[in-house]
Amino acid sequence: MILYPHVDVNEKGHLTLGGVDCLSLASEYGTPLYLIDTDAVRENCRIYREAMRKYFGVDSYPAYASKALCFSGIYPVIKEEGLGADCVSGGEIYTALMAGFPAEKIFFHGSNKTRREICEALDARIGCFVVDNEEELELLNDLARERGVVQNILLRITPGIDPHTHKYVSTGRIDSKFGSAIPTGAAESIVASALKKNNLNLEGFHSHIGSQIFDAEPFVKEAEVLATFMADMNEKYGCGCTVLDLGGGIGVPYTKYDRRVDRAAVIKEMAEALKAVFRERGTELPRVILEPGRSIVADAGVTLYTVGSVKRLPGMRTYVSVDGGMTDDPRYALYSSRYTAVIADRACEEASELVTIAGRCCESGDLLGEELELQIPKAGDILAFLTTGAYNYSMASNYNRVPRPPIVTVGKGKADLAVMRESYCDLIKNDIL
């Protein structure tokens, strides 16, 4: 019934995460409360790290996509597990650096990096910029020249793959705000421009085809397309590129209806596809980077809420109101994402009622889920949402001036406060009276 190995039920019948009783955490830290099991994060890191070494070679490694969950305490874990970090803003880079993450293992992404962010990242000597467009290439080269440095870059390429259809519509994904498309010739043209820039060193290519993908097939196709493109460019321009960064996107199960992806098997299939291309071209296998985000942190997270009221509307639905909502987890409001929820002290009881979980914002779209199977709820219950490690805290807002919840990490059987609950004071700290 419980989806993940890290979530269990103890002898009192209480839900646990990483062996720690969720009810005692709720009473100690209050609700809403984000919990992150760092042992689970480590386990996910190791799955990628080991499979990538085995199938791609010892120089290949995963870079954690920070946007899935970014707070200072995540970076020591990621660093200790030997991952790089993929950052998409000056704020994420700052967080990583302040937490002691090594600059040389940071990849800087984004389709519109500002001049200020580029300067900051150059000054911090981050390892690699993933350049999106011609204007960025020009600006980055100028700013690198001013500093007398040669910056390593990858170019973001749009391979023209739609991961959510079985037929690869080679035009569908060309319509993207990210990168340069191969089929239109834009990709080759930005390669030619990059090679003319004296303060940039083109190491290779990057692509990211989407998120919450459950099949190996789109990743295999992506690996083939990018590998072929790299081999073509190396032949035509002699650019000597040796790095392929194939992005993130492996899916995780949120409900019992979702499949669990065998990540090592996907990596193995991608490696076989790459090897076939490079064998045919008679060149060596490149260094491969993958950028998992969701599949590193999602199943390590649980969010706890307190039920305020239960409204049973006969013949319609049952609204269960909680003390959080779209401000701490906007994913249902944004994407109608489904979750598994349990009442934390009755997790073993049958989930016999179908409910709608409503958030506290003055907004009828502030829901956390509809038609969710739940144990019969009542006011005062602690409601646990599972698999909330990714794209919850990182997407949280202060809408309705709701302070953001704290993060408590659990690991090796003990709990630590990692991010404090926001105070009213925090809410007005930038306001000028």
Ligand X SMILES: *Cc1c(COP(=O)(O)O)cnc(C)c1O
Please give the residues from 228 up to 257 whose contact with ligand X meets the rule CB under 6 A. Answer: 247-249
Please give the residues from 331 up to 360 whose contact with ligand X meets the rule CB under 6 A. Answer: none
32: cis peptide before it, omega within 30°?
yes
Nearer Cβ to ligand X (266/333): 266
Nearer Cβ to ligand X (136/323): 136
Q: Assess contact for 22 and 14: CB atoms under 8 A.
A: yes
Nearer Cβ to ligand X (67/105): 67
Least distance between ligand X and beta carbon 295 (Å):
6
Task: Note whether 86 binds ligand X by CB under 6 A.
Answer: yes
Task: Note whether 211 binds ligand X by CB under 6 A.
Answer: yes
Residues in the chain, total: 433
Task: Note whether 208 binds ligand X by CB under 6 A.
Answer: yes
For 182-244, the DSSP string reads: TTTTHHHHHHHHHHT-TTEEEEEEE----SSB--SHHHHHHHHHHHHHHHHHHHHH-----EE
Task: Note whether 204 binds ligand X by CB under 6 A.
Answer: no
81 φ/ψ angles, rounded to the nearest 5 degrees: -85, 0
Task: Note whether 32 binds ligand X by CB under 6 A.
Answer: no
| Three-class secondary structure of residue 171 per DSSP | coil
Tokens of 222: 């992506």
Task: Note whether 127 binds ligand X by CB under 6 A.
Answer: no
The b/e string for 62-95 (b: 16+ C-beta within 10 A; e otherwise) is bbbbbbbbbbebbbebbbebebbbbbbbbebbeb
CA angle 411, 417, 419 (to 5 degrees): 115
Q: How far lies 219's CA from each of 141, 161, 226, 273, 374, in Å?
A: 31, 9, 10, 10, 36
Least distance between ligand X and beta carbon 382 (Å):
28
Which region among 65-73, 273-281, 301-309, 397-405 touches ligand X (by CB under 6 A)?
65-73
Least distance between ligand X and beta carbon 140 (Å):
17
Check if 362 is active-site.
Answer: yes
| Three-class secondary structure of residue 129 per DSSP | strand
| CA distance linking residue 6 with residue 384, whole number of Å | 14
| CA distance linking residue 336 with residue 339, whole number of Å | 10
Q: Assess contact for 209 and 159: CB atoms under 8 A.
A: yes
Task: Note whether 67 binds ligand X by CB under 6 A.
Answer: yes
Q: Is 359 left (phi over 0), alpha (psi -120 to 50) or beta?
A: beta
Nearer Cβ to ligand X (48/305): 48
Task: Note whether 389 binds ligand X by CB under 6 A.
Answer: no
Least distance between ligand X and beta carbon 380 (Å):
35
| CA distance linking residue 54 with residue 49, whole number of Å | 9
Binding pattern for the stretch 277-316 against ligand X, x by CB under 6 A and - elsewhere: --------------xxxxx---------------------
The single residue of 119, 128, 239, 362 carrying the catalytic annotation is 362
Of 65, 143, 216, 300, the one binding ligand X (CB under 6 A) is 65
Task: Note whether 411 binds ligand X by CB under 6 A.
Answer: no
Of 22, 47, 52, 68, the one binding ligand X (CB under 6 A) is 68
Please name the residues in contact with 425: beta carbons below 8 A apart, sequence gap of 6 or more. none
Nearer Cβ to ligand X (16/211): 211
Least distance between ligand X and beta carbon 291 (Å):
4
Please list the active-site residues. 362
Contacts to ligand X by CB under 6 A: 65, 67-68, 86, 109, 208, 211, 247-249, 291-295
